[in-house]
Amino acid sequence: MKFGVLGGGSWGTALAILWAKHGHHVDLWVRNPDHAAKFREAGANTRYLPDYPFPERLNVTDDLEHAVHDNDLLVIAVPLQAYRSFLGHIAPMLRPDHNLILTSKGVELNTSYLPQQIVDDVLGEDWGPRSFTLSGPSFAKEVAMDKPTVVVLAGMVDASLLKLQEELTTPTFRMYNNHDVLGVELCGALKNVIAIASGMVIGLDLGNNSMAGLITRGLTEISRLGAAMGAERETFAGLAGMGDLILTCTGSLSRNLRVGQSIARGNSLEKTLDDLGMVAEGVHTCRSARKLAKDHGVELPISEVVYRILYEGLTPPEGLRLLMTRSLKSELESRRQD
């Protein structure tokens, strides 16, 4: 199968390296022509993954029309907030037999749309059966290193999904299928907000007890919103939910965790993002999560505190106190609704 990976950031590059290493031809589209030329010359993505050389079957290009039209499978690896404009741009280039793999995690600002909803809105609902969401606990660097990784591919469970599951699985990259696209995409988006809070736990040296409590209660509030929106609770206990949440809240490679650490050290959000130099979707998603919670009549205490710290001047210690001194509840009842 010929792949076009559209987006030369760390995640798109890692997936391109993985699949090219395991026998597929991959065109990696890089937006900036100068960067593309530099990557070709160096034989590696010198900006994000400089230590991981490109396999022989990986071709770097800045020709978007070629990367789209000449490949069977298109892996969309641009930042979530750019999805709408990017999909609109490539729409005239798409073939009727293309399939899309959506890899970005987040919620669109203004619309509160998830990735598949953006695809439906821009390209039309006919693309729903041909669009699949890739998610789960997976750091780009470790995928590029070919370390064992287990993920989930969500979409309409039919012959296309099962074929893609088989094609995209490698001896080091095991893939499960899931028909609950809404749940998988919500997990991928909202875990980034909890990961910002986990960075604050680390930055404030609050200890392992605090981290375990945060992850557990974070999963509770994510699944609560998901259930209110019609997702399946089992999804939140799986790879896209619990698996990705644990990884993002505890792994040192997590961008969102590093955002929380920086904020806890007293840095502004602007300085934090400048120092990071990459997209941390949780910064946007906490705003969208707040709106989704209001629209669906549920409380997201951790996400609300993260929002207030990032955008309203609340300090991390003040946010901790707010969470710890909330009215007392039954654990089982609070899983349904605070």
The residues annotated with a catalytic role in the active site are 191
Quick one: which of 134, 124, 169 has its CA closest to 155?
134
Four-residue CA torsion sign, 116, 233, 227, 308: negative
**How many CA atoms lie within 13 Å of 224's alpha carbon, on the beta-carbon side?**
25
The first and second tokens of residue 73, run together, are: 């499978």
Determine the Cα–Cα distance for residues 247 and 280; give it in Å rounded to an integer: 15
What phi and psi, each to the nearest 5 degrees, are found at residue 153?
-115, 120
| Long-range contacts of residues 226-234, Cβ cutoff 8 Å, at least 24 apart | 226/182, 226/183, 226/186, 226/187, 227/336, 228/296, 228/297, 228/298, 229/182, 229/186, 229/292, 229/296, 230/182, 231/180, 231/182, 231/183, 231/186, 232/180, 232/183, 234/180
- Cβ-based neighbours of 85, under 8 Å, separated by 6 or more: none
Please state, in angstroms and as integers, the Cα–Cα distance from residue 45 to each residue in 2, 21, 62, 160, following that order. 20, 15, 13, 31
Chain centroid, CA 24 distance in Å:
24
Name 6's bridge partners. 29, 76
- Tokens representing residue 123 in the block: 């390209």
The answer to whether 21 and 146 have CB atoms below 8 angstroms apart is yes
Closest by CA to 48, choosing from 262, 284, 282, 277, is 277
- CA–CA gap between residue 103 and residue 299 (Å, rounded): 28
Q: Count CB atoms within 10 A of the CB of residue 123.
A: 18
The dihedral over CA atoms of 184, 190, 192, 196, expressed in degrees to the nearest 10, equals: -160
